[in-house]
Amino acid sequence: MAGQQEIDVALLAANFDVISNLPKNVKQRVCALKKLQRESIKIESDFYKRVHELELEFEQKFKGIFDTRRAIVTGEKEPTEAESDVAILEGLNEAQLADLNKTTEADPSAKGIKDFWLTALKTHDLISESIEEHDIPILSYLTDITTAANTDPMGFKLEFHFATNPYFKNTVLTKTYVLNFDPDEDAPIAFDGPHIVRVIGDQIEWEDGKNVTKKAVKKKQKKGANAGKFLTKTVKADSFFNFFDPPKSKDERNEDEDDEQAEEYLELDYEMGQALRDTVIPRAVLFYTGELQSDDMFDFPGEDGEDISDYSDDEA
C-alpha cells in the first residue's frame, strides 16, 4: 500500500558504522545526494497529484461504459447479438465453447444477471475474507458499485448501490477516503505516495433486528457480587458491512487507544478500498467469470465470547 512508512531502525543501525567512517568530503557528497532525493520526492508528489487529475478526467470516459454495465446487470437493458459477440470465457476451444453454451436453455423470466456483484466480490480473495454467511442475502441486493475521485478533500469515494431490501433503508452506502499527496514535513524521505488521512463511512439505517454487525454474547462474570453468573451484552460481529464503520485516523483516536494496531487496521481498510477501486470495479465481469482473481487476504477483528444469537440491535 502506498503511504508513510517508518525507517527500518535495525537497517539504519547496521549502516551507521559505515556512514560514520566515511571521509568528511564523501559525507558531504552523500548529503548532496540526500538533498537531491528530497527534490525528487517533491516531483514524485506532483506526479501523484497529476495522476489524480487524470483520474478525474478519465472517469467521465469510463462512465458511459459503466452505466451500460449497470443497465445490463439490473435488466434495464438487453444487449443485442452484436453487443455480445465475444466468448463468455477466454481460452476455450470451439468444442468447449459449444459444450458450455448447450448446457442450458434461455429463460425469458430471468432478469439481468443475478448476484453479479456478490459473485465478483466473493471471487476477490481480499474482499471475500470479510464476507460472512449472514452478509450474502444482503449483498444479493447489490446492483452496482461505483467510484469517483474527489478534489475537496483530495481522495476518492466508493458507492454501493442497493435495490430496496428488508435489511436497511439506505439505497446507497458511501465510503470516502481522504488522502494526503504531500510528503510529511517532519519525515519527507519516508514519502511513498499518497497516504491515508481519514476514512468516512455512511451510517447504515438497519431495520429492526437486521443489524448483522452486532451480536449478543454471554460471558461469565469472574468477580464481584455477580461472580459465576452470565451477563449478556451486544458486541461487534464479523461482517462485510463493518466496512462502513472504518477505523479511526490518528487525530480521531483517544489517548488510550493502541496506535500501532489502529494504524494496521487503517492500512488494511485502505487496501480493501484500493482493491475495490482499482481492480473489482473496472474489471467486475472478469471476477464474476473467475478469469481474474486475487491472492490478497483480509480479516476483520472479532471478539471472543459465546454467541447466543446472530445479531441484535439492543444493549443487554
pLDDT tens by residue, 181-228: 998 888 888 888 888 889 999 999 999 999 999 987 877 776 766 666
Give the C-alpha separation, 166 to 52, whole Å. Answer: 38
Q: Are 279 and 294 in contact (CB under 8 A)?
A: yes
Higher pLDDT, 25 or 299: 25
Q: What is the pLDDT of residue 10?
A: 61
Q: What is the pLDDT of residue 2?
A: 41
Q: What is the pLDDT of residue 174?
A: 97
Tell me the mean pLDDT in the region 307-314.
46
Name the range with the highest mean pLDDT among 41-45, 253-257, 300-304. Answer: 41-45
CATH superfamily of 9-307: Nucleosome assembly protein (3.30.1120.90)
- For 219-258, the pLDDT digits (tens) are 777 676 666 677 778 889 999 999 999 887 777 766 666 6
What single string gives the DSSP state of each residue in the chain?
Answer: --S-----HHHHHHHHHHHHTS-HHHHHHHHHHHHHHHHHHHHHHHHHHHHHHHHHHHHHHHHHHHHHHHHHHHTS----SGGG-S-SSTT--HHHHHHHHHSS---TT--S-TTHHHHHHHHBHHHHTT--GGGHHHHTTEEEEEEEEEETTEEEEEEEEE-S-SSBS-SEEEEEEEEE-S--TT-GGG--S-EEEEEEEPPP-BPTT--TTEEEEEEE--SSTTTT-EEEEEEE---GGGGGSPPPPGGGS-TTS-HHHHHHHHHHHHHHHHHIIIIITTTHHHHHHTSS-B----------SEESSS--SS--
Q: What is the pLDDT of residue 111?
A: 94
Cis peptide before 108 (omega within 30 of 0): no
Higher pLDDT, 168 or 92: 168
Q: Are 169 and 210 in contact (CB under 8 A)?
A: no
